[in-house]
């Protein structure tokens, strides 16, 4: 596997910033995070750890359970020299036992950085407004910025250049798709999203933003279609997510029917470039959005992508809240 890096971003300082959505970050800032992630990963693999969070605490708010988010943030803080405190649904109720504003102000006085994995994005905005310390969006119904950072780090490490890259997202126009668009267009990636009718990306918060962003010099483009094969044709990367996410279980049977034909399988892979890679944010529902043979095949970058949640988030934490 070849590892290459894009040109270095201009010097940027992200200290004290929050990460609510990648829409709020510039191309140079996104590149700076990605390049930092790649370098920190290399040093970690070489036994040269970074500890910019020594003596610091992360408060982790979880409204939704997760494997990768919890493990990567806890492990990341440990490797960076700090510690992470898990606050589950039974420990803290955003806007229930006490207001999100009050929770943010309390945590901001006792923790150095806050990570929140929530249902509604408004909770992230309130935490950012009142905490007084960096807040990292670990997932909301609107975006999943940490996932997109790990995704594009993986693209870099597999020797793909961002400029002119065709990334095809097959499936629900959800929070993952939104973040791939917000980062991708700024990096020069041509993002295609193939979704069945009724599951397209949002117009107001995403498509309108993309229309403006794509007009900037060096920006990528956004193409929407209901034809998975058209999206996959000559693609450099194929990406998918589960058809039924947490909280949507009651819609499962309808979604299984609506998403027929939107599976990444060997046939769809044959439409992409021969060296195309496969991406999936996990967990995977084999036989639905992706087949087992493709997810575990030679072109799968899924497991590097999952690992890179750790390294991309370590870079983000260090840049936003490190010593």
Catalytic residues: 117, 144, 147, 241, 281, 309
Q: For the residues of 87-113, what is the DSSP string, one character each?
A: E-TTT--BTTTB-HHHHHHHHHHH-SE
What the block records as the tokens of 179 is 């973040």
- Map tokens 């403006």 to a residue: 212
- Map tokens 């195309």 to a residue: 276
For 100, list phi and psi in degrees, rounded to 5: -60, -35
Residues 176, 149 contacting (CB under 8 angstroms): no
C-alpha–C-alpha distance, residues 87 and 317, integer Å = 18
Whole-angstrom distance between the N-terminal and C-terminal Cα of the chain?
34
C-alpha–C-alpha distance, residues 119 and 62, integer Å = 9
- Report how far apart, in Å, the C-alpha atoms of 307 and of each of 69, 72, 304 are: 11, 8, 5
Residue 95, Ramachandran bin (φ over 0: left; ψ between -120 and 50: alpha; else beta):
left
Nearest to 66 by CA among 253, 319, 306: 306
């Amino acid at each position: 596997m070849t590892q290459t890096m894009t040109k270095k971003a201009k010097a940027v300082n992200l200290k004290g910033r929050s990460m609510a959505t990648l829409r709020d970050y510039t191309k140079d800032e996104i590149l700076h995070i990605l390049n930092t992630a790649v370098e920190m990963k290399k040093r970690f693999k070489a036994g040269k750890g970074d500890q910019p969070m020594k003596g610091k605490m992360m408060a982790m708010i979880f409204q939704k359970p997760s494997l990768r988010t919890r493990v990567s943030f806890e492990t990341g803080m440990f490797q960076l020299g700090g510690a992470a405190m898990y606050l589950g649904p039974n420990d803290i109720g955003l806007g229930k036992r006490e207001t999100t504003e009050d929770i943010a102000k309390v945590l901001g006085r006792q923790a150095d950085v806050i990570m929140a994995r929530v249902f509604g994005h408004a909770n992230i905005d309130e935490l950012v407004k009142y905490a007084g310390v960096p807040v990292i969006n670990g997932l909301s119904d609107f975006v999943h910025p940490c996932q997109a950072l790990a995704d594009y780090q993986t693209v870099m490490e597999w020797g793909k250049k961002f400029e002119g890259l065709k990334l095809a997202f097959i499936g629900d126009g959800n929070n993952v798709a939104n973040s791939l668009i917000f980062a991708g267009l700024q990096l020069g990636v041509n993002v295609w999203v193939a979704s069945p009718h009724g599951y397209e990306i949002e117009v107001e918060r995403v498509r309108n933003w993309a229309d403006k962003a794509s007009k900037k010099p060096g920006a990528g483009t956004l193409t929407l279609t209901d034809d998975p094969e058209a999206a996959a044709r000559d693609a450099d990367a194929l990406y998918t997510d589960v058809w039924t996410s947490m909280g949507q279980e009651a819609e499962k049977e309808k979604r299984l029917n609506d998403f027929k034909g939107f599976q990444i399988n060997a046939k769809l892979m044959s439409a992409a470039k021969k060296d195309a890679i496969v991406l999936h944010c996990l967990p995977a529902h084999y036989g639905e959005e992706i087949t087992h043979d493709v997810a575990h095949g030679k072109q799968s970058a899924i497991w590097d992508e999952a690992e890179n949640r750790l390294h991309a988030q370590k870079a983000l934490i260090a840049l936003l809240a490190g010593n």
